[in-house]
A and B are shown apart, each in its own frame.
Chain A
Amino acid sequence: MHIPDGFIPLWQCAIYWIIAIVAIGFALRWARENLDERNIPLLAVLAAGIFAIQAMNIPIPWGTSGHMVGAALIAIIFFSPWAAVLVLSIVLILQGLIFGDGGMTALGANIVNMGIIGGFVGFYAYKALKGVGRIPAIFLAGWASIFLAAIACAIEMAWAGTFPLAEGIIFMGLYHAVIGVIEGVISVVVVLGIDSVRSDLLADWVSSNKQGTLNTKQEVAK
């Protein structure tokens, strides 16, 4: 889903860059206001972790492989889409600048797709669905974050004139509907895993509130 350089005309790149810069500005302000200062280094170290996680290839039935993006996961864990915007922006900047994964002129568009759309879709999908149940909510948040980011990517490419709209939406949509399942499943496993060992890391709204049982477990351990 990383759009390379040359596929989007410069004037359109400028629009995405402006949106991305404004969003990063808001995300930094969010970090200053809502987190104590410890979370600034924490987010950076987490971004490095996400970088490594993204480098891990995960097999998909039918022979191909994909990798995690993690926007929905971060938005859910931190209880804010801005956390996802910030972490994904850092990851995408470094991927573009050092690895050539995604172009520098297209960086704005990539941040818009994976960071902003991924983070916000993941966050609000979870928020809207958590009444239904925690597991389906996390799964669908992860799935939708990938699927809609891919659709946005297809629309941007169509606007740029590098891919026909209908075929782009079908092709990108189908492929990422499958990749999204992986993202969803792994998001569920990760959130449940964190909940069972370090539920203090989760924002209250995600944790299962089994504080009581945890305490007794800890007492038993003592």
Chain B
Amino acid sequence: MEGLAEIDREARKESFIHNLDGRIKLISSLLIIIYAVSSTNLMILAIMEVYLLILISISNITPKYALKRIALIIPFGGFVALIQPFFQPGNVIWTGLFGWLQITDYGLFFGALLLFRMVVAVTAIVFLSSSTSMQDLVASAQRLGVPHQLAMLLNLTVRYLFFFYDQLENILNAQSTRCFDIFSNKTSYKWRLRKVGETITMMFLRAFEQGEKVYLSMMSRGYSENTSTYRAKTSLDSKDYVFFSATVLVILGLQFVNMFFL
């Protein structure tokens, strides 16, 4: 729940990276993720991770916050990566008690590969979202050709995200002042589930009614079906080209190393 405010705080900071054009950061991050997913070399992935951590460290993002976010996203995928050694086919390098548990060399490598890929991809997303505001991200996506209807939907959703997090927090605070605790076993589970359902109903109704209000106020300002969001034209300057070239060079360089040296 606190995640949203933290992301926003980091994205509002000032730095060389924060001042780059959103489009450049979006494309660069996606390129890094795609290259990471296609890579099968742990060394290459480790170098990419270092490159991303350098970018994070020069962009004034609180390091503790960035590491915490990366660590928090890992669990689900981490679990899947962790069990790889036990079922991937390959040469058995360890047999557990009674011979029912085996670790294979390929499984060990494959598990590490999944983990490395995922960490690089998550780091790229943390870098992107901590150095670019959500509105800027959506605007960049629109400038890059996301259809205007979808872009408008994304834009409005981002705008109301904070609003609904506040609303939910209000409801939860009000509930806790009445000593309601979803996780407390002192009341019956059925009753608690019902209260959660009612909370969600309330959220749903507020979202609905807010949506109607937003629509009416948009209408009164001249909104119609064919309305599209105005985006001031922004041009890329030299620092954007420098950053983009650096990222592309890193990827090409790694590919070169991968093909001829590893």
B121, B164, B208, B212: the one contacting A6 at CB < 8 Å is B121
* Assembly CA distance A78 to B142 (angstroms): 27
In the complex, chain B residues whose CB is within 8 Å of the CB of A190: 197, 200-201, 204
- Number of residues on chain A facing chain B (CB within 8 A): 67
Which of B157, B192, B218, B224 lies at the interface centre, i.e. has the most chain A CB atoms within 10 A of its CB? Answer: B157
Contact A5:B198 (CB < 8 A) given known A10-B38, A185-B193: no
User: Chain A interface (Cβ within 8 Å of chain B)?
Assistant: 2, 4-7, 9-10, 13, 24, 28, 31-32, 37-38, 40-53, 55-59, 61, 65, 68, 73, 86, 90-91, 93-94, 96-101, 103-105, 157, 162-164, 167, 182, 185-186, 188-190, 193-194, 197-198, 201
In the complex, chain A residues whose CB is within 8 Å of the CB of B34: 10, 105
In the complex, chain B residues whose CB is within 8 Å of the CB of A93: 154
Asked if residues B157 and A97 are in contact (CB atoms below 8 Å), the reply is no
Interface-lining segment among B73-81, B231-239, B250-258: B73-81
**In the complex, per-residue mask of B141-164: 1 if CB is within 8 Å of any chain A CB, else 0:** 000000101101111111111011
User: Chain B interface (Cβ within 8 Å of chain A)?
Assistant: 1, 3, 7, 30, 33-34, 36-38, 69, 73, 76-77, 80, 84, 87, 113-114, 116-118, 120-122, 125-126, 128-129, 134, 137, 147, 149-150, 152-161, 163-165, 167-168, 182-183, 189, 192-194, 196-201, 203-208, 210-212, 214-215, 218-219, 223-225
Contact A193:B122 (CB < 8 A) given known A44-B156, A94-B157, A99-B3: no
Which of A42, A57, A198 lies at the interface centre, i.e. has the most chain B CB atoms within 10 A of its CB? Answer: A42
Nearest neighbor of A98 in chain B, beta-carbon distance: B129
* Assembly CA distance A34 to B113 (angstroms): 46
Contact A59:B192 (CB < 8 A) given known A5-B122, A100-B126: yes
Minimum CB–CB distance for B15 against chain A, Å:
19
* Assembly CA distance A51 to B160 (angstroms): 10
